[in-house]
Amino acid sequence: MQKISILLIEDEKSISDFIVRTLELNGYSVMAEKTGRDGLARITSAMPDLVLLDLGLPDMDGIDVIRETRKWSAMPIIVISARTLEKEKVEALDAGADDYVTKPFGTSELLARIRTSLRHVDKIASEAGGLRKTYSARGLLIDFEKRLVTLNDEPVHLTRMEYNIVSILAKNSGKVITYDSLINALWGPYAGDNNRILRVNMANIRRKIEKNPGEPEYIFTELGVGYRMTEDEGDR
């Protein structure tokens, strides 16, 4: 199974090195950046499963990193900060952070907060789509229990959010799932009615599973309505 990817945005080297080492020892794939701008660039290019964010960055306030990210993505963001005032915590959470951990913090607490945030994402995706164990159509196979996707027996590496989108569509194959339904199921209130977040992820998914993303075989766009996944061959 593909490792869960975490992006750490933290400018203090000793803290960054400690967190990276801790996460890698616990089986996570970790990227690290020191500035807000580099962090935002990595968020866009790498689409990590979760972001750990310090607020006191050298080039910009971490609150602005949250706001910029929330314009198009609702990947889990956990703030790790020395700021302890209640109003600062409230500001970060109102901006779109999923959780707030105050420095200094224990390793066990941080790992628990990460697990909780990831469980929440998976729970939403699971509840949004049926009880099927597998999906199979035209060489595309999805094993929902193992969270594995293969195309013509070759593994397809999807981010956690990309997998959750495909999972919902596949579990409801043959049905049109509206943009609003997907956005609300996966990203909740922060996404609003702007479906750019969904289009970005869908473009990435199609690049990975479609021979020609402009003429899809698996996920079809119902213009102005939503998406439909080709019917599971097991249902025919």
Rg (CA), the chain: 19
Structural domain tally of the chain?
2
Same domain for 84 and 135, yes or no, is no
Nearest Cα neighbor of 179 from 195, 163, 201 is 195
Cα(41)–Cα(39) distance, integer angstroms: 5
Q: pLDDT tens digits, residue range 20-60?
A: 999 999 999 999 999 999 999 999 888 888 999 999 999 99
* pLDDT of amino acid 215: 92
Residue percentage of the chain with pLDDT more than 90? 49
Domain housing 134: 128-235
Which residues fall within 8 angstroms of residue 161, CB to CB, at 6 or more apart? 47, 49, 73, 75, 121, 186, 201
Same domain for 117 and 202, yes or no, is no
Q: pLDDT tens digits, residue range 155-176?
A: 999 988 899 999 999 988 888 8
* pLDDT of amino acid 127: 57
Of 109, 125, 141, which marks where a domain is finished?
125
Same domain for 15 and 92, yes or no, is yes
Same domain for 98 and 70, yes or no, is yes
Same domain for 85 and 100, yes or no, is yes
Same domain for 94 and 182, yes or no, is no
- State whether residue 163 is helix, strand or coil: helix
121 — pLDDT class (breaks 50, 70, 90): low
Of 85, 107, 125, which marks where a domain is finished?
125
Which residues fall within 8 angstroms of residue 66, CB to CB, at 6 or more apart? 53, 77, 79, 92, 95, 96, 97
Q: State how beta strands 134-137 and 99-102 pair.
A: unpaired
> Is this structure's pTM higher than 0.85?
no
